[in-house]
Structure 1
């Protein structure tokens, strides 16, 4: 019997993958242009910070990509990845910082094959989980490169008191990258829901909106603080990141296949938490989110307070940038973002029982909707089990299904908790 995935990979998601690749390439081109512009202007400190952000983010992405490939070399499905594996190119490609492009090539290859040749649902499911890995990598890139770059560019504008073309373009592309990665991560989670509980584009829009409304005040407060006290932003980041890293460690995550690398995932989570909330554990998250947003609100108020204290003494700031307007506006956006988040979780977020995602079953009802689960068999590729949401009078024998790595199931269980 043919293996299959009960996942659906739509043409729209395929087009978004292509758009993501184009934005990724555009961002790299603008990064190079920015570094060259800083060099020509003699802004060597800014140039060094940009290069550090670019290299640090790229290395982080390549390490995650290489680890995920190392865990699944025997389950590679695309021709381009099989070719790279056969000729022992996986390691060199990641050493040259090209691992993300290899993943894009794999997703585009199998997606194009699926849409042009109308292949079976197995290839459609492979496209889903390959695309999910890309979404996770783009999420890491967003908060290790784009969000810090956005902070840097905004602080440069404040210090110079003028908006240049290159900094304006970088602000727009960084903001677009943040918005698109958050929204597409939300869309990627839809694959783990039964059809009757699929999230609409309205829910994606609300999810995107509340994240944007809380990220803008956070990044703006960091940029304002950095514009007047640039030497203290590093100390601020390191102190908060260490605290958030320890908080992620206390959650006892098991995202990575090898527990020895779990510290890297927790470090990446701490980096994301510096800008935005990201759930990494199941169960009730109300107390965690209340504590997180309360601490972030206090820190944002503190950053804005230091900026207000120094802004009248610092000649580089725009005279028209009044603290009496900026501070209430940013705090108002933050509060509105929290309210939109409450609306999303109250009416648009489809909570799903963790057991329905994580427990396998030997039978699947042909009549009842199901939540999907991923488990790993030591003797064969991972397989996908569908769990009936309600008993059916005549359950059909389970088919041998193929699925995705366990990290996808774990993140889906966290997302729908």
Structure 2
């Protein structure tokens, strides 16, 4: 199976890696600028919420990054990883909240080496595996920081009753960035599929658009509810989140190496589900997604109804967001997004059988042939020898294939 694994390190993928690093650094700079702005304006309540979101998301990312590294400290491939591990600096790097930068350095190093030297498929495959963990971390960051932060910004605008064109464009750009991160992770998952199932521009655009159309109503409804009932948003989040975590547990996820840390993953899945659907179990997911979107659509409508009821008593909200315009627009976007999603899964989504999804093994197994032949001395007949038993898939290999099977089964 290894020889069929599509390790393709193209110029486009290489540029995407560099662009991702640049955008990540830009996002950090914008976060710092926003924190300073809140401080200068004296909005200490909003400042506290924003700092909590930034620190909470960062700690969550570092924990996942460290756990994934701790599973394979003796199998690090890049020069920067080996150097840091040799000097026992991996844990301090994560304590200093630099784990994501460290991973970016490894991905950029091996991607540059593979692209310039035209090395063998294994080297390019290492870049694919490293990039998978990085993109998984970026996906977690999207729903632990970016989506909540966008919710906070919209709620501030609704509370203050002032919406400018440039602010509206920034909100739309932030929502588009969230949807783009989902598409990037989708593209990363395609590395496990046959060449005929690689991601095209049409399917990428449709995938991006339906995610954008479903995220906007959800985030806006949460923001409007938060703008009129800020004390109840925590109760709403905890109640819905706990139900979603139980839903993840009921699907018997198997993503982490340690079954205790699997609960951290399930809790994170609940956080992602609070904003958007994320498949975590193999098998047909049609019924699961229908139930999810029905429940979340109903919850979104309840939030908008409560906002409309409370906004009547708070004239400032009505100056910026008219319920008779906002609610029909958001419902239309949600319905249209569901329709596009159905179009994507009907005509553009590859439904591959599990054996079609590549199953990489550890480094020592990468050069092993699928079967070898021996000559039997008594009859001189050439008989196929049964292939050696495959080694258990662990670490990033297991994580990547698990998510690919879940995503495309």
Q: Which residue of 2 aligns with 1:309?
A: 309
Q: Which residue of 2 aligns with 1:341?
A: 341
CA–CA distance in 1 between the matches of 2:206 and 2:162?
33
Question: How far apart are 1:167 and its partner, in Å?
Answer: 6.3
Cα offsets for 1:242-295 (capped at 9, x unmatched): 110111111111100111210010000000000000000011111111110000
Q: Which residue of 2 aligns with 1:135?
A: 135
Q: Which residue of 2 aligns with 1:319?
A: 319
Q: Determine helix, strand or coil for the equivalent of 1:316.
A: helix
CA–CA distance in 2 between the matches of 1:273 and 1:149?
16
State the TM-score, normalizing by the size of structure 1: 0.88
Question: How far apart are 1:3 and its partner, in Å?
Answer: 9.0
Q: 8 Å contact 1:213–1:336 — kept in the other structure?
A: yes
Q: Which residue of 2 aligns with 1:196?
A: 196
Q: 8 Å contact 2:150–2:174 — kept in the other structure?
A: yes
Once the two structures are overlaid, the 10-residue window that deviates more, 62-71 or 19-28, is: 19-28
State the aligned residue count: 393
Cα offsets for 1:158-187 (capped at 9, x unmatched): 111224799668635632431221010111
| Matching of residue 408 in structure 1 with residue 404 in structure 2 | no
| Matching of residue 77 in structure 1 with residue 77 in structure 2 | yes
Question: How far apart are 1:72 and its partner, in Å?
Answer: 1.2
Unaligned stretches of 5+ residues in structure 1: 358-370, 388-394
Q: 8 Å contact 1:132–1:188 — kept in the other structure?
A: yes
- CA distance change for structure 1 residues 386 and 149 in 2, over 3 Å: closer, same or farther? farther
CA–CA distance in 2 between the matches of 1:345 and 1:39?
46
CA–CA distance in 2 between the matches of 1:276 and 1:224?
18
Cα offsets for 1:178-215 (capped at 9, x unmatched): 12210101111111111122231211111111111111
Cα offsets for 1:311-364 (capped at 9, x unmatched): 12113214252211111110111011111111111101111112x05xxxxxxx
Question: How far apart are 1:6 and its partner, in Å?
Answer: 3.6
Query: Which runs of at least 4 in structure 1 moved beyond 3 Å after TM superposition?
Result: 2-6, 163-174, 380-387, 397-404
Once the two structures are overlaid, the 10-residue window that deviates more, 316-325 or 270-279, is: 316-325
Q: 8 Å contact 2:76–2:82 — kept in the other structure?
A: yes
CA–CA distance in 2 between the matches of 1:30 and 1:169?
16
Q: 8 Å contact 2:282–2:406 — kept in the other structure?
A: yes
Q: 8 Å contact 1:4–1:125 — kept in the other structure?
A: no
Unaligned stretches of 5+ residues in structure 2: 371-383
Q: 8 Å contact 2:84–2:90 — kept in the other structure?
A: yes
Alignment of 1:193-272 (within 5 A): 193-272=193-272
Q: Which residue of 2 aligns with 1:151?
A: 151
Q: Determine helix, strand or coil for the equivalent of 1:319.
A: helix
Q: CA RMSD in A?
A: 2.8
CA–CA distance in 1 between the matches of 2:4 and 2:79?
19
